[in-house]
Amino acid sequence: MAVMTEAEDSEINPFDAMMSRFDVAAQKLHLDEGLYQFLRYPRREVTVYIPVFMDTGRLQVFTGYRVQHNISRGPSKGGIRFAPDVTLDEMKALAAWMTWKCAVVNIPFGGAKGGVICDPSRMSSGELERLTRRYTAELYEFLGPEKDVPAPDVNTNEQIMAWVMDTYSMHAHQTVTGVITGKPVELGGSAGRLEATGRGITIVVKEACKRLGLDCAGAPVVIQGFGNVGSIAAQLLSSEGFRVVAVSDLRGGIYDPAGLDIGRVSAYNRRNRTLEGFPDAEPVTNRELLELPCDILIPAATENQITSHNADRIRARIIAEGANGPTTAKADEILDEKRIFIIPDILANAGGVTVSYFEWAQDRQGFFWKESEVNERLGDYMTNSFHEVFRYSEAHSVNMRIASYMLAIDRVARGTRIRGLYA
Ligand code: NAD
In sequence order, the 6+-apart residues with CB closer than 8 A to the CB of 182 are: 79, 151, 152, 157, 158, 161, 189, 193, 356, 359
Residue 253 has pLDDT above 90, yes or no: yes
Q: What is the mean pLDDT of residues 92-108?
A: 97
Structure confidence at residue 9 (pLDDT) = 72
Most informative mutation of 97, 190, 302 for ligand 1 (most atoms within 8 A of CB): 302
Angle between helices 400-419 and 33-40 (to 10 degrees): 100
What pTM was estimated for this model as a whole?
0.95
Residue 327 has what DSSP assignment?
A: B
In which region does residue 192 sit, left (phi positive, over 0), alpha (psi from -120 to 50) or beta (all else)?
left
Q: What is the pLDDT of residues 39-85, one digit of tens each?
A: 999 999 999 999 999 999 999 999 999 999 999 999 999 999 999 99
Our answer on whether the CB atom of 14 is closer than 6 Å to any ligand 1 atom is no
201 CA → ligand 1 middle, Å: 14
pLDDT at 10: 76
Residue identifier of the C-alpha nearest atom 42 of ligand 1:
352
From 105, 195, 249, give the residue whose CB has the most ligand 1 atoms within 8 Å, as the site to mutate: 249
Q: Is the beta carbon of 238 within 6 A of some atom in ligand 1?
A: no
pLDDT of residue 12: 84
Query: In angstroms, what is the span from residue 225 Cα to ligand 1's centroid?
Result: 6
> 165: how many CB neighbours lie within 10 A of its CB?
25
Ligand 1 atom with least separation from CA of 353: 42
1 pLDDT tier (thresholds 50, 70, 90): very low
Output phi, psi for 131, to 5 deg: -65, -45
Q: 226 C-alpha to center of ligand 1: Å?
A: 7
Measured CA to CA, the distance from residue 285 to residue 66 in angstroms comes to: 35
Q: Distance between CA atoms of 284 and 286, rounded to whole angstroms?
A: 7
Tell me if residue 44 falls in helix, strand or coil.
Answer: strand
Task: Provide, rounded to the nearest whole percent, the portion of the chain with pLDDT above 70.
Answer: 97
CB of 226 within 6 A of ligand 1: the answer is: yes
What's the sign of the alpha-carbon dihedral 356, 400, 387, 305?
A: negative
- Residue to mutate (ligand 1; options 197, 288, 291, 359; most atoms within 8 A of CB): 197
Ligand 1 proximity of 304 Cβ (cutoff 6 Å)? no
Position 326 pLDDT exceeds 90: yes
Ligand 1 site, residue 80, Cβ cutoff 6 A = no
Per-residue pLDDT reduced to its tens digit, 380-392: 999 999 999 999 9
The helix or strand, by DSSP H or E, that contains position 286, with its residue range, turns out to be helix 286-290
Measured in angstroms, how far is the CA atom of residue 236 from the centroid of ligand 1? 17
In what helix (H) or strand (E) does residue 373 lie, and over which residues does it extend? Answer: helix 371-396
Q: Could you write out the DSSP letters of every residue in 142-211?
A: G-BTTTEEEEE-TT--HHHHHHHHHHHHHHHTS--GGG-SS--GGGTPPTTTTTHHHHHHHHHHHHHHHH
- CA pseudo-torsion sign 336, 338, 344, 345: negative
- The yes-or-no verdict on residue 118 having pLDDT over 70 is yes
CA of 237 to the centre of ligand 1 (A): 17
Instruction: Report which protein residue has its CA nearest ligand 1's atom 22.
Output: 250
303 C-alpha to ligand 1 centroid (Å):
9
231 has pLDDT over 80: yes
* Average pLDDT score, the chain: 95
pLDDT tens by residue, 171-229:
999 999 999 999 999 999 999 999 999 999 999 999 999 999 999 999 999 999 999 99
* Residue 11 to residue 279: CA distance in whole angstroms: 38
CB contact at 8 A, 284 and 248: yes
Check 113, 183, 206, 330 and give the catalytic one: 113
**pLDDT-derived band of residue 17, with 50, 70 and 90 as boundaries?**
confident
Q: Ligand 1, from 155, 250, 270: best to mutate by most atoms within 8 Å of Cβ?
A: 250
Angle at 344 between CA 343 and CA 347, to 5 degrees: 90
* 275, 284 Cβ separation under 8 angstroms: no
CA distance from start to end of the chain: 49
Q: Which amino acid is at 6?
A: E
Question: What does the pLDDT read at residue 423?
Answer: 45
Distance from the CA of 33 to the center of ligand 1, in angstroms?
A: 36
| Residue 206 is among the residues annotated as catalytic for this protein | no
- Rounded Cα distance, 304 and 190, in Å: 31
CA atoms of 24 and 170, how far apart (whole Å): 45
